[in-house]
Structure 1
Amino acid sequence: MKSWLTACITMIAAAVLLAGCGAQSDGSVQSDGKLKVVASFNAMKEFTQAVGKDKVDVVTLIPDGTEPHDFQPTTKNLKELSHARLFVYNGLGMEPWADKTLEVVDNKNLVAVDASKGVQVIANTDKHDIHEHGRDDPHCWLSLQAAQTEVQNIAAALAEADPANAEFYRENAAAYNEQLQQVLAEYQEKFQSVPNRQFVTGHAAFAYLCRDFGLTQRSVESVFASGEPSPQQLASLADFCKQHKVKTIFSETMVSPKISETLAKEVGASVKTIHTIESAEGKATYIDRMRDNIEQIYQSLK
């Protein structure tokens, strides 16, 4: 799989160069004075915008509605990176194409930041996921605690790319992280009074969120939403739901809700949507969607 990915990216890079699209950019600042930043997906874009504000122009590499695990870069993507000053990605295997893309993109001025650097990583437990995607659960941006580390890493990268405004970026990162910490502290206190600490979701994307609040997720599908549960696994999950009087099965917009709906019907539960924040959703911000996620989980456990 990795050799096929490498071959694809190399061929795309060659096509970009032959077409004259891969010429190195002079760097960094556009005609409007803003720093050009490419982020892999929506959460990374939001963190970068919160730190860079009006001094950055941020675009996402992965189109809304596209699963980041399944994305493959195109010639257009390489052209965008060849004219960017900063590339922000989550890391931990969320963007398996990132390292090879950075090797072939023609831009010596590009600063790349693995936003998850320094996050306490949660390991995958599913053998298929480990074989296909690696040992790390990449969904750390769905933790308000880990998100603060990512924001700090992005601020440091922006300061490296644009030293003249380093203090501006650090101050914005501190202010944004204070907002994240306020939501975290508010719900850590609320969850202390909840006796039931297990919830059920469509795919196992919320381990880092669970760590923030001392919760446990049970899921229909694995960390990478790959494959479908066997009848035995589904039956076991249904028994768990009945035993623990689970009244809500959560589903995500990027994953088919069919199996979650089947499980909910079996156990007499409702299906509600929570956000993985991989794509934009109207005007809802990262903090809006995280607060909605946590509040819905909290209400389901009361």
Structure 2
Amino acid sequence: MKKRIITSMLAVMLTVTLTGCSKENTVKTSSESNKVKIVTSFYGMKALVEEIGKDKVEIHNVVPEGTEPHDFEPKAKDMINIEKGNIFVINGAGMEGWSEKVLKSVNNSNLEVVDASKGIELISAKDHEEEVEEDHDHGEYDPHTWLGIETAKIQGKNIMEALVKADPGNKTYYEENYKTFEGAMNDILNTYKPKFNEVSNKKFITGHATFGYLCRDLGLEQNSIEDVFAEGEPSPKKLEELVKYVKQNNVKVIFTETLVSPEISETLAREVKGKTEKIYTLHSNEDNKTFVEAMKYNVETIYNSLK
């Protein structure tokens, strides 16, 4: 009898031990640690990574949504998050002036740094420059590459290649996601480029000069309230020129952005008895749209304002 009790107790203990091991293995399998840890510089890059990595990646974003990335100053907690990452994705092209200094201080020799703008033919920032103080020199190129169609495709490919390198077991998954993304961007271009070709007035006004690459894709011309680096409110001379530009070019829609005060846009719209309309610059997750959805909205909205 005593022997039988001991045997039963051993069986129970063994069952509990095995159950505990089984539970622990289940937790590990479903853990976020199985995902590739990506750190992105700002929301535009996060939205791009989401298109390619989807549920295989865990993303931490450095610049808070709705914050201007040009002049961002990283904190100690940002350094820690970057050090924990497998991949750090920056837009490049001078967008993140702080990134070089940060990377010199990061203690992670295995961190893969992706300059998403690598391989892009950049537009000179001088094409948009106004009178800018010397201590606000951000670089010689327009850094808003993620807002163009052809340029976003290049950036998506750079991200895809980094993911394949970091996680070769899911190579096909990332490649298929990129093909889907590339196809969606091509659909936007192929649908709207012929439409824009038929429009006689190809000029529009934005809050700041962020759409140079999209203009290059579609043969458009942007004018803006603030320059390419959003240096602040325009001078009285610039305002006078904008009013003249709006009237001469029969501009009826003035586009507004989250990072630029809508006040001047609203004033310009009143001057021509027009209206203001929102456009996405992907500095934050507005209206819960994906990268592709935001791009399609932008192109369609600009087209509707010109036709």
> Is structure 2 residue 250 aligned with structure 1 residue 250?
no
Q: How far, CA to CA, are the matches of 1:95 and 1:255 in structure 2?
A: 19
1:190 is paired with a residue of what secondary structure? helix
Question: What amino acid maps onto 1:156 in structure 2?
Answer: E
Give 1:288's match in structure 2, choosing from 290, 293, 297. Answer: 293
Instruction: Find the partner of 2:185 among 177, 180, 189.
Output: 180
- Give the secondary structure class of the aligned counterpart of 2:125: coil
Kindly report the root-mean-square deviation, in angstroms, between the aligned alpha carbons of the 2 structures. 1.6
Q: Counterpart of 2:61?
A: 60
Q: 1:48 touches 1:154 (CA, 8 Å); kept in 2?
A: yes
The answer for unaligned runs of 5 or more in structure 1 is: 1-29
For each residue in 1:84-105, what CA deviation from the matched residue of structure 2 results, as whole angstroms up to 9, or x when unmatched? 1000110111111111111111
Counterparts of 1:160-179 in structure 2 under 5 Å? 160-179=165-184
8 Å CA contact retained: 2:144, 2:210: yes
TM-score normalized with structure 1 length: 0.86
- The answer to whether the 8 Å contact 1:183/1:291 transfers is yes
Q: Work out whether 1:156 is the aligned partner of 2:158.
A: no
Change (3 A) 1:199 1:89: same
Residue 31 of structure 1 deviates from its aligned partner by: 5.2
- The answer on 1:209 being equivalent to 2:214 is yes
The unaligned stretches of length 5 or more in structure 2 are 1-30
Alignment size in residue pairs: 273
Aligned to 2:101: 100
Tell me the residue number matched to 1:227: 232
The amino acid that maps onto 1:168 is: Y
Could you tell me which residue of structure 2 aligns to residue 21 of structure 1? none
In structure 2, the partner of 1:299 is 304
The letter of the residue matching 1:160 is: K
Is the contact between residue 51 and residue 176 of structure 1 (CA under 8 Å) also seen in structure 2?
yes
Shift of 1:296: 1.2
2:280–2:286 Cα contact (<8 Å) kept:
no
1:135 CA drift (Å): 0.4
- Confirm or deny: 8 A CA contact 1:129 1:222 kept in the other structure: no
- Misfit runs of 4+, over 3 Å: none
Q: Does 1:275 align with 2:276?
A: no
Give SS of 2:206's match: strand
Looking at structure 2, the residues matched to 101 and 281 of structure 1 have their Cα atoms a distance apart, in angstroms, of: 28
User: Does the CA contact (< 8 Å) of 2:181 and 2:292 recur in 1?
Assistant: no
Percent identity reads 47
What does residue 43 of structure 1 align with?
44
CA offset digits 1:171-225 (Å, max 9, x no partner): 2212211111111111112111111111111111111111110000011110011
CA contact (8 A) 1:129 1:224 kept: no
One-letter amino acid of the structure 1 residue matched with residue 156 of structure 2: V
SS in structure 2 at match of 1:153: helix
Q: Which amino acid aligns with 1:98?
A: S
Instruction: String of CA shifts for 1:119-153, please: whole Å, max 9, x gaps.
Output: 11001111628861010100011011110000000
Instruction: Give, as a single letter, the amino acid of the residue that structure 2 aligns with 1:171.
Output: E
Secondary structure of residue in 2 paired with 1:137: coil
3-state DSSP of counterpart to 1:128: coil
Q: Kindly provide the CA deviation profile for residues 146-176 of structure 1, in whole angstroms up to 9, marking residues without a partner as x.
A: 1000000001111222223233222221221
